[in-house]
Chain A
Amino acid sequence: MEIKRGCLPKRVINAYLDRELSGEKEERVKAHLESCPYCQREARALSATRSLLSLLPSPERPAFYWDYYEKRLRERVASRSPGIAVSHWVLRYAVVALAMLVLTVGIVSGNISPIQLEIIANAPGASVYIDGELKGITPLQVTVPSGYHSISLHKEGYQTWEHGVLASTLSPMRIEVRLLPRAFTENPREVRQFAYLSISPNGENLSLLGSRRNFQPGTGELWLYNFEKKTLTKIKEAVAYVRPAWSPDSKRLAFVSAEPQGDVVTVLDLETGVTRTTSPFLGLSQVAWLDREKLAFIAGELPSIQVFEILSQKTYVIPTAPVERFAPSPDGNWIAYNSAQDGKIYLLSLVTQISQELPLKNREYFALSWSPDAKFLGVASTTGAFLWDFKNEQEVLVSEEKAIELAWANDGRLFSLLEKDGSYAISVFNPIDKRATALIEDQFLKESLAISPNSSFFLFSSNEAGFFRIYQKDLLRLTESPSPLLPGCNLSISSSPQAAEVYLSGNYLGRTPTVLSSLGAGSYEITLKKENYAPWSLNLTLSEGEFKELKAILVTPESPVPITRTEGEKREAVISPGGKWLAYSEGPEEDSALYLVELNTGSLKYLGSGRQPAWSFDGERLYFTRGFRYSDIWLYDLKDGEFRQLTFGGGAQNPIPAPGGGWIAYLSGLSPQSLSLWLMNEDGNDQRLLIQEQGSIFKFCWSPDGKLINYLVHKSGLDYSYLTDLEGNTHLLHSGSGVSLCSWEPGGKFLAFLSFSELEREIRVYNSWNLELYLTQKTGSAEFPIFWRSGKIHWAQKEGEQLVVYSMDLEEGKPESVWSATGVRILGYTPELDRLLISSSWTGYSQLYLIPLQAP
């Protein structure tokens, strides 16, 4: 259905049909529907879908059923038997060995004998909290009363692990916890994932595709890993998710790249760096070499096998029925393929160009692979993995599980990646004795299998850590678990402009762009130097397994010099009370990075993920929010450089310390619609609810004397501004369609805020002591912040493209402009109020600047 400009989005039509809109919105939608035939049609179709659903019968049960239901439930509660096995969605990434969940003895009989718990974690020294109290660090032996306890483990650099446990008198309990690196939280956007592995025939290099978006539709990057030097290099961006193929002599790599003109097959000569490409094709999938000079690939809407001759750069089609997948024989004379038409497997002779059907059973095939000696063709299907024995002309069963991928080792063994009921296994099959052995079996999604040419190890990509990472398994030491191929941390550094010298903690490591691999977790100082540019440096701490990408912006030393020099949208910025430090957050809210800048020296420190920074009154501690959907409040102590988590359990955000010290106020709630105002002391203890409103509190600030909090709450379509003391006694200051936070005059006489409606904005000034309205001043498109300086009130106002700062004496009542600029946003000001902290994209990158207020 054609949607015209100005038509209603479908979600709005749905919300209207569901009567979830009200007032003006509802009226507008109704009016549009009455006049727009397109939207009417859409509404009718959506309505019809709903009415079909109403045909589904309701699950009514007879009245007497509920007595039986409760009886059964009471029995289960009494026995505390869990009954049916519960799906472990809470435990998805944790492995816990619990003794028993039966509680019969503990509470019911009144027995309170202590239970011994042993708690171990894969990372030693994790703090163990039981029922909210710190009990020690792992490995830990502790006694607890029998009954239900909530246990959580915390360790810097790792995700918090939390679970409820029933401690029973029947036997001692051992709890093994697997902590996962914190870098990889819910949305591991910074994490680069790797799959589509391919080892060069000479065993020297590994080609892999990297993705920052979980291999979702789009393109990834082509990387090369050298086994000997253990270096990782990015070869190309905008590469399609087709497994790259090595030429038989290991000198060339073929892959599919997305070019402006379309997708093309590219052959890269690794020695010379020369690339040759085909013309653009639709539907490119699978590339494989026929010999040193000929590359085959699938392309076209009716997919066919095409051959690209490297030297002549000619491409021709091999005439077959539409093809799904193919595999060239080791000698390059045959191609086995499965037909997209009938699903059967055919053998095509490249000499005679004639295809013959292989008498394999009809199955859904999705991988074909020749054994190195060409005696067998391995086939993977949804109903199992099989071999076609060419000599004896028969099928050989490899495995009855659904096979996703096959890979032959040069020693003649066949490795397969199998899936059954949500678990994944890698097993090895010996065609001679027809024995299969499982090597790895777990519930983590796996991709890509690559066997080393000398058959001593194999690689695979697994989602075990929450993102696709490459693991290596030694075939000569089968009892050892697979280990990550890229251990430690990896840091990819690029700069604008490039070719800057990179120093890691003082050691020269090359020029940008570069990737520093296998770094141990810990703190580093990165410095970039380039002639004619000011030096750039950053302090950062990397967590185990983290793959961080840095893009440094180099600036020439002329004014105005930005304070920040990292790439990313700057959202929040606060200067410490002494004026020494600036803390700012960068990037999208759900993936925010927090930085610290020492304003005198310009030195930059990366604090990890975080947002909503706020300084303690003495400027020695920085409070911030970490996490997005399940966020918590953290503290960074500048004196010792330590991080501490203050709240646990998710839902806490926006910490603001009281001026003068004492309390931290913050918002807490598990959904944005239900945030309440809380208080805790500076160390995170004594957490208590201060204000809970019907709507959601979305902003707040302290009065300069630390005795009042001004908070804004959105209810029934309006914003309300309240003042509260620390006992929860509130006073409604104002309500309207938009209200800003208060700004107090330093002498304490007045407070002021912005009130805005659809049509106009005004500043309202009140007497602080009796909260009576003192004056109002109409403004144009005034913006936050309002601040007081030299007895005058200041605010910023958008006038066309410009942002203009006005000041006004309350007595005289005449606003005058004191500063203006284009393309800026004001984020704050220095404590002396002599400079504005602004964000701007003058250089093409969002950066922060400190601008003297007097300058025009």
Chain B
Amino acid sequence: MSREKNSDTQKALFFEEVVKKYERRLYSLAYRFTENHERAEELSQEVFLKAYLALPNFRHESQIFTWLYRIMVNLCIDEARKKKIPHVPLEELSIPDNFDPSRQETVMLVREALNKLSPVQRAYIVMHDLEGFSYKEIAQVFKCPLGTVMSRISAAREKLKKIIEKEYPELLEKVEWK
């Protein structure tokens, strides 16, 4: 009887302290990588499940948040490495009220360009430019020095810039390039 109660308390705490707090951010990261809502849900739930099972052994040497993110980033990078190229069905693209077909095309091209980065480089861009992680947070997730994060973000952006300049020159007109 008491064992069940403990397990219930454990579960309740997990959902209040961990899931509710981080579900949207984890989901968001998974979505940015996979560009598929279903897959984002699956991956983020996978991370929570792993976390729940491993929580008793969590050594608190990093914050829970960076720990969860680390698991997620590795899952995403691995997915990308297996060449699961995200297939974005048309209905997935969020359609704003002022639907603009040319903007949709731009979005698709930017997505394509981003997908041409290596999985790790994409992870850096997604985390910083799309999800708003600071360099310090990224360093904690990747367990690397701040300087490394600086160099990698710079290299990923440079590569993206070159991809856009070479393969998607029409995108240059959309923004002030030089």
Interface residues of A (CB under 8 A from B): 9-15, 18, 20, 41, 44-46, 48-61, 66, 69-70, 72-74, 76-77, 80, 82-84, 86-87, 89, 107-108, 110, 148, 150, 164, 166, 421-422, 629, 649, 651, 668-674
Expressed in whole angstroms, the minimum distance between the Cβ of A169 and any Cβ of chain B is 14
Known: A55-B107, A70-B23, A83-B45. A674 touches B157 (CB 8 A): no
Structural contact, A56 and B130, CB atoms closer than 8 A: yes
Chain A residues lying within 8 Å of B128, measured Cβ to Cβ, are 18
Structural contact, A86 and B19, CB atoms closer than 8 A: no
> With the chains together, A61 CA to B25 CA distance in Å?
12
Which of the listed residues A45, A59, A629 has the most CB atoms from chain B within 10 Å of its own CB? Answer: A59
Structural contact, B52 and A56, CB atoms closer than 8 A: no
> With the chains together, A18 CA to B134 CA distance in Å?
9
> With the chains together, A11 CA to B24 CA distance in Å?
30
> With the chains together, A87 CA to B39 CA distance in Å?
14
Expressed in whole angstroms, the minimum distance between the Cβ of A162 and any Cβ of chain B is 11
Contact of A59 among B11, B37, B113, B161 (CB under 8 A): B37
Known: A20-B134, A59-B32, A107-B3. A69 touches B41 (CB 8 A): yes
Contact of B53 among A50, A60, A166 (CB under 8 A): A166
B69 at the interface (CB under 8 A from A): no
> With the chains together, A14 CA to B27 CA distance in Å?
27
B85 at the interface (CB under 8 A from A): no
> With the chains together, A823 CA to B50 CA distance in Å?
55
B171 at the interface (CB under 8 A from A): yes
> With the chains together, A668 CA to B49 CA distance in Å?
28
Which of the listed residues B48, B150, B172 has the most CB atoms from chain A within 10 Å of its own CB? Answer: B150
Contact of B49 among A60, A82, A108, A670 (CB under 8 A): A82
Closest to A46 in B: B157
Expressed in whole angstroms, the minimum distance between the Cβ of A391 and any Cβ of chain B is 39
B68 at the interface (CB under 8 A from A): no
Structural contact, A52 and B31, CB atoms closer than 8 A: no
Which of the listed residues B31, B61, B110, B136 has the most CB atoms from chain A within 10 Å of its own CB? Answer: B61
Known: A46-B157, A89-B74, A649-B59. A53 touches B94 (CB 8 A): no
Expressed in whole angstroms, the minimum distance between the Cβ of B15 and any Cβ of chain A is 7
B90 at the interface (CB under 8 A from A): no
Structural contact, B45 and A73, CB atoms closer than 8 A: yes
Expressed in whole angstroms, the minimum distance between the Cβ of A55 and any Cβ of chain B is 6
> With the chains together, A561 CA to B93 CA distance in Å?
73
Structural contact, B160 and A73, CB atoms closer than 8 A: no
Structural contact, A670 and B61, CB atoms closer than 8 A: yes
> With the chains together, A300 CA to B62 CA distance in Å?
54
Structural contact, A11 and B151, CB atoms closer than 8 A: yes
Contact of A55 among B27, B48, B106, B146 (CB under 8 A): B106
Structural contact, B15 and A70, CB atoms closer than 8 A: yes
Chain B residues lying within 8 Å of A46, measured Cβ to Cβ, are 157-158, 161
> With the chains together, A666 CA to B144 CA distance in Å?
20
> With the chains together, A74 CA to B8 CA distance in Å?
11
Interface residues of B (CB under 8 A from A): 1, 3-4, 7, 11, 14-15, 19-20, 23-24, 27-28, 31-32, 37, 40-42, 45-46, 48-50, 52-54, 56-57, 59, 61-62, 74-75, 78-79, 82, 93-94, 103, 106-107, 110-111, 113-114, 125, 128-130, 134-136, 139-140, 143-146, 150-151, 153-154, 157-158, 160-161, 164, 171-172, 174-178
Structural contact, B19 and A73, CB atoms closer than 8 A: yes
Chain A residues lying within 8 Å of B144, measured Cβ to Cβ, are 671
Contact of A57 among B11, B94, B157, B172 (CB under 8 A): B94
Structural contact, A670 and B62, CB atoms closer than 8 A: yes
Structural contact, A86 and B125, CB atoms closer than 8 A: no
With A9-B154, A53-B125 given, can you name 7 additional A-B contacts, CB distance below 8 Å? A48-B177, A52-B175, A56-B107, A59-B37, A66-B23, A89-B75, A164-B54
Q: What are 26 A-B pairs with beta-carbon distances under 8 A?
A: A11-B150, A14-B154, A45-B161, A45-B177, A48-B175, A56-B32, A56-B111, A57-B94, A70-B15, A72-B45, A74-B11, A76-B45, A76-B49, A77-B14, A86-B50, A87-B75, A89-B74, A148-B53, A148-B54, A166-B53, A649-B59, A668-B61, A670-B62, A671-B62, A671-B139, A671-B145
Expressed in whole angstroms, the minimum distance between the Cβ of A73 and any Cβ of chain B is 5
Structural contact, B110 and A55, CB atoms closer than 8 A: yes
Expressed in whole angstroms, the minimum distance between the Cβ of B102 and any Cβ of chain A is 11
Structural contact, B57 and A148, CB atoms closer than 8 A: yes
Instruction: Decide if the interface of chain B is mainly helix, strand, loop or mixed.
Output: helix
Chain B residues lying within 8 Å of A629, measured Cβ to Cβ, are 143
> With the chains together, A46 CA to B164 CA distance in Å?
11
Structural contact, B153 and A673, CB atoms closer than 8 A: no
Closest to A41 in B: B178
Chain A residues lying within 8 Å of B154, measured Cβ to Cβ, are 9-11, 13-15
Known: A87-B75, A89-B74, A672-B145. A73 touches B175 (CB 8 A): no
Structural contact, B157 and A110, CB atoms closer than 8 A: no
Chain B residues lying within 8 Å of A82, measured Cβ to Cβ, are 46, 49
> With the chains together, A425 CA to B128 CA distance in Å?
39
Known: A69-B41, A673-B139. A44 touches B178 (CB 8 A): yes
Structural contact, A20 and B32, CB atoms closer than 8 A: no
Known: A44-B177, A70-B15. A86 touches B75 (CB 8 A): yes
Chain B residues lying within 8 Å of A86, measured Cβ to Cβ, are 46, 50, 75
Known: A10-B158, A50-B129, A56-B110. A61 touches B46 (CB 8 A): no
Structural contact, A669 and B61, CB atoms closer than 8 A: yes
Chain B residues lying within 8 Å of A422, measured Cβ to Cβ, are 82
Structural contact, B46 and A83, CB atoms closer than 8 A: yes
Structural contact, A20 and B42, CB atoms closer than 8 A: no
Structural contact, B178 and A73, CB atoms closer than 8 A: no
Chain B residues lying within 8 Å of A148, measured Cβ to Cβ, are 53-54, 56-57
Known: A52-B171, A110-B3, A164-B54. A673 touches B136 (CB 8 A): yes
Closest to A68 in B: B41
Expressed in whole angstroms, the minimum distance between the Cβ of B160 and any Cβ of chain A is 6
Closest to B171 in A: A52
Structural contact, B94 and A60, CB atoms closer than 8 A: yes
> With the chains together, A51 CA to B106 CA distance in Å?
12
Structural contact, B28 and A58, CB atoms closer than 8 A: yes
Expressed in whole angstroms, the minimum distance between the Cβ of B28 and any Cβ of chain A is 5
Expressed in whole angstroms, the minimum distance between the Cβ of A236 and any Cβ of chain B is 34
Chain B residues lying within 8 Å of A10, measured Cβ to Cβ, are 154, 158
Chain A residues lying within 8 Å of B135, measured Cβ to Cβ, are 15, 18, 20
> With the chains together, A10 CA to B152 CA distance in Å?
11
> With the chains together, A148 CA to B49 CA distance in Å?
13
Chain A residues lying within 8 Å of B94, measured Cβ to Cβ, are 57-58, 60
Structural contact, A59 and B28, CB atoms closer than 8 A: yes
Chain A residues lying within 8 Å of B75, measured Cβ to Cβ, are 86-87, 89
Expressed in whole angstroms, the minimum distance between the Cβ of A674 and any Cβ of chain B is 7
Contact of A87 among B14, B61, B79, B164 (CB under 8 A): B79
Expressed in whole angstroms, the minimum distance between the Cβ of A379 and any Cβ of chain B is 24
Expressed in whole angstroms, the minimum distance between the Cβ of A91 and any Cβ of chain B is 11
Chain A residues lying within 8 Å of B150, measured Cβ to Cβ, are 11-12, 14-15, 20
> With the chains together, A110 CA to B1 CA distance in Å?
8
> With the chains together, A840 CA to B114 CA distance in Å?
49
Structural contact, B103 and A55, CB atoms closer than 8 A: yes
Closest to A78 in B: B11
